[in-house]
Amino acid sequence: MTANQTHNPLPTGNDISLPWHLRLPAPLEQDFLFYSRNSAAGAASGALMLIALLLVCALLVESTVGSDILMQTWRPRLFTLMVTGGCIVLCHQPRWREWLQPCLLVLSFTISLSGVYMGVVIDHPLSYVFFLQTPLSVVMISTLFRLPLHRSAFSAVLMTIAMIGGLFFAKEYAPYEHLSLALLSLAFISMSLFGQYVYEKLLRKHFLSEHVLYQHRDELHSANQVLESQATVDGMTGCINRRGMEARLNHLYHLLKQQSPDAPERINLLLFDIDFFKQYNDTYGHPAGDECLKKVSAVPLSMVQAEKDFAARYGGEEFVIVLTDSSFNDALVFAERMRNRVEQLGIPHSGSRVNQVVTISIGVACSDGGAEDGGVLLKQADEALYQAKGAGRNRVAMMSSQGMVEMLT
């Protein structure tokens, strides 16, 4: 890279600015919520197992403090464990994943409100620790579950109001105990929400950079398709060019030999050219010859319907039609109809020795006849076409399974 050249790296998200409230336009916001939900779902299962373990440990600790304490705490703990188990089930059901975040919020409120309840009703010098479940719940939804910031902040406000209300009714065992507890909880909650804000800002930037990269990949894919089309399509007639024909024919034979599920039952190849086309150019000129090619090629293009079938310009006035999954008799009927439709176009051709309008001669071959590859099949169709010309042109000739050329009558 020279000194005058500039290096343009792929977007990383560092150059993306977001509003302070982090909200994106409505369609992107919906996509981001889906993106963040899937990114957080993987860690939720392990976090829920940890919460269940801590709840069991809390029951064990409370049983050692006193049986009277356990009698008051086991019901809220059991209910919280049941909600936790329900969330674990949702984690392992992708079709219900849209309900996971609301259920995680329910679990957070359950932990917080059950702590407030136990802190109010339990008369013990250490009952204030139950109120600490509220800041722990906020840390949980913002750190473990990574719920969207706006939901986390709104939920944190409601939990904090409930906790302060519970402190108002709870018994105070030491001076300023409730004030100290409230201030400590607010510090935990504010730091947790600030960390969630920073994390979500980075996550949104990453999401937007991924969105930009996806658009670039989509544009690149579309450009590659255009280039591929330009490289394999004949610009004059709209048919596939010789290079594209050979590639598709070889691919069909590869599928056939590998007995792939997508392989065709057989491959029928029709090779035709315009009778006395050199004389047509000499009589009417090359611009008229180009128009003649366009009109004639439009006939097979309109007749080819199946997804794997195609029409290609083999070179000059020669064209190839490949029909898959059609019987050999159907391919012969196709060839005769195509010959008849070209003749019915009524393109004047005073230089023709067989008709006063443009006609075509067709050679037909089938892979059932023993052709090992596309090149052999093409040679068989070319031999049939040569015999059709020798028999007077404006007719269809076929290569039989015995290797003999027969005229279609």
pLDDT tens track for 220-243: 766 665 666 556 788 889 899 998
Q: Mean pLDDT over residues 385-392, rounded?
A: 93
Q: How distant is the alpha carbon of residue 186 from its chain centre?
A: 44
In the prediction, which pLDDT does 74 show? 93
In the prediction, which pLDDT does 102 show? 87
Give the pLDDT band of residue 177 (cuts 50, 70, 90): confident
In the prediction, which pLDDT does 214 show? 73
At the top level of CATH, which class does the domain 242-407 belong to? Answer: alpha beta
Least confident segment among 64-68, 218-222, 286-290, 325-329: 218-222
Whether the per-residue pLDDT at 7 is higher than 70: the answer is no
Whether the per-residue pLDDT at 276 is higher than 70: the answer is yes
- Report the chain's mean pLDDT, rounded to a whole number: 86
Whether the per-residue pLDDT at 2 is higher than 60: the answer is no
In the prediction, which pLDDT does 57 show? 93
Q: CA-CA distance, 203 to 233, in Å (whole number)?
A: 44
Whether the per-residue pLDDT at 205 is higher than 70: the answer is yes
Residue closest to 354 by CA, chosen among 398, 388, 384: 388
Whether the per-residue pLDDT at 319 is higher than 90: the answer is yes
Q: CA-CA distance, 203 to 36, in Å (whole number)?
A: 8
Whether the per-residue pLDDT at 261 is higher than 70: the answer is yes
pTM: 0.51
Q: CA-CA distance, 253 to 170, in Å (whole number)?
A: 83
Non-local (6+) Cβ contacts of 145 within 8 A are: 40, 44, 47, 101, 104, 108
What DSSP state is assigned to residue 375? H
Percent of the chain's residues with pLDDT above 90: 47
Residue 274: is it exposed, middle or buried by C-beta count within 10 angstroms (0-12/13-18/19+)?
buried
The residue assigned the tokens 């519970």 is 166
Least confident segment among 17-26, 82-91, 309-318, 349-358: 17-26
Q: CA-CA distance, 301 to 306, in Å (whole number)?
A: 11
| pLDDT, tens digit (0-9, with 9 covering 90-100), for 99-146 | 888 888 999 999 999 999 999 999 888 888 899 999 999 988 887 787
| Beta-bridge partners for 324 | 267
Q: Mean pLDDT over residues 46-63, rounded?
A: 90
Give the pLDDT band of residue 24 (cuts 50, 70, 90): confident
Whether the per-residue pLDDT at 349 is higher than 90: the answer is yes
Give the pLDDT band of residue 3 (cuts 50, 70, 90): very low
Q: How would you list the strands of the sheet with 318-324, edge to edge? A: 310-315, 318-324, 267-274, 360-366, 396-399, 405-407
The residue among 303 and 1 whose pLDDT is bigger is 303
Where are the chain's structural domains?
A: 26-215, 242-407
Non-local (6+) Cβ contacts of 35 within 8 A are: 207
Non-local (6+) Cβ contacts of 68 within 8 A are: none
